[in-house]
Amino acid sequence: MAEINDQGITGTSLNGYLADINARTLAIDPDWNIDPDSPDGQRIGIEAELLANLDEAVVAAYRAKDPDSATGEALRNIGKISGVAIRDATYSVAPITITGQAGTVLPANSQIRSRIDNTLWLTTAAIVIGVSQSATGFATCVTPGRVLAAAAELTVIGTPYPGWSSVTNAAAAPGEDAESDVEFRARRNNSVSLPGSNMKDNMLAAVANVAGVTDVKILENNSDDPVDPDGIPYTAIAVIVNGGTDQGIGQAMYSKYNPGTPLYPRYSTKTDTWVDPPGTTGVKVQITSTATGNIETMTFQRAAALPIHVAVSVQRKGNLPSDIEQRIKDAIVEDSTKKLFADDQVKGFNQGGYDIGEVVPVGRLYTPVNKVLGQYGDSYITGLTIGLSSVSQGVTPIQPGIAELATFDPDNIMVSVPL
């Protein structure tokens, strides 16, 4: 039977129960026919399987209280105790630029469609066209998960509006599929360990737990330089986020914000203007304290996609499947989104995809390619380069900006496997 002691829990296997019941039966009568094909042999097999299944259930229930071994609903319940809920699929967000008549207010949820795949995107907030006859904002795809939109793909106005002439976009920051057990376990462990007396850690944990947020990074200038190499002013912090709603992120930031700390890009409520140019990624949101009624303006940056182009050459040795090129492309994309090893208990190398601002070294791409090739014999990589375009390729690591997130699209991956 399953036994719990100070070393943990142990259970008896099906073969163990079969041997034990057989021995106990023969102890009653050594001539008892317990062959597996006999009625008594089959009865013993049924009883042994029931007992083994019961042991497995007891062991699973015992381990369900451990965040490192719990799965499914048990892991979700542990997350609830810590105040961390599993993340549903998130939605891709694209920076957009609209043009039209000055003074036009484009309502939130105005429809935009992709000229490539006709996917539907909605503006996240009202956008006011300025005197330059243009304005910037964001649009969210209505389809959950990883929906890609390269620059200048969102150009079709879905719902015509008086004064709105055209729309275009920068590359979209992709959404994510629903969170797996592996991803949720890692995020839950980070969430419980991050909160403390440090505002930076507290705020990161709070923003990371906002519904829809897939990535968050907080930088600070704690040097003596008026502006550090990242462009952050002295004593200021920069919050960069992928996913989530403006209001949800702003509320989470405010809950951990220490008054007097500048947020980059800075915004002056006295003059109602940006102190630092927000570019296409800067966001400001007004928060009203539920406790005091105080009003504060929170600013942060949206992560912008940085499309990475890849070229892979493979020497064919032996048989490879006819769709080997597509399999390699899919593996590179899955590795960048933390999916390639989600179900594998393997360690020793980076399996966490790419975070905001994280460098992209060419060496990391050998892992997903070799994972595919390793299934089919002795084929090997003869060349692997990366770049910001298909014609600008090399082995130099690519360093995204502080608010950029490296993304990989199968259309930007070239795979050559000569016959």
The span from the CA of 368 to the CA of 327, in Å, is 10
Q: Kindly tell me if the per-residue pLDDT of 228 is higher than 80.
A: yes
- The residues near 346 (Cβ < 8 Å, ≥ 6 apart) are none
| CB-CB contact of 57 with 18 (8 Å) | no
pLDDT of residue 89: 83
Lowest mean pLDDT among 59-73, 164-178, 356-370, 405-419: 59-73
| CB-CB contact of 263 with 210 (8 Å) | no
Q: Kindly tell me if the per-residue pLDDT of 419 is higher than 90.
A: no
91-169: in CATH 3.30.700: no
Domain coordinates of the chain in residue numbers?
3-63, 91-169, 194-302, 305-416
Residue 71: count of CB within 10 angstroms of its CB = 14
Q: Kindly tell me if the per-residue pLDDT of 168 is higher than 90.
A: yes
- pLDDT of 48-71, one tens digit each? 999 988 988 888 777 777 776 677
- The residues near 27 (Cβ < 8 Å, ≥ 6 apart) are none
pLDDT grade for 160, boundaries at 50, 70 and 90: very high
pLDDT of residue 192: 64
Closest alpha carbon to 140 in 330, 302, 264: 302
Mean pLDDT, residues 141-153: 90
Q: Kindly tell me if the per-residue pLDDT of 415 is higher than 80.
A: yes
pLDDT of residue 68: 67
Tokens 């965040």 belong to 67
| CB-CB contact of 299 with 266 (8 Å) | yes
123 backbone dihedrals φ, ψ, rounded to 5°: -65, 140
Tokens 């590179």 belong to 332
| CB-CB contact of 130 with 163 (8 Å) | no
pLDDT of residue 202: 85
The region that residue 184 occupies, defined by phi over 0 for left and psi between -120 and 50 for alpha, beta otherwise, is: alpha
- pLDDT of 252-286, one tens digit each? 999 999 888 899 999 999 999 999 999 888 999 99
- pLDDT of 289-341, one tens digit each? 888 888 999 999 999 989 999 999 999 998 899 999 999 999 999 888 877 77
| CB-CB contact of 163 with 100 (8 Å) | yes
Confirm whether pTM is higher than 0.75: no
Q: Which helix (H) or strand (E) holds 93?
A: strand 91-100
The span from the CA of 171 to the CA of 306, in Å, is 7
Tokens 């004593």 belong to 235
pLDDT grade for 344, boundaries at 50, 70 and 90: low
Answer positive or negative: Cα dihedral of 193, 199, 202, 208.
Answer: negative
pLDDT of residue 230: 86
pLDDT of residue 345: 52
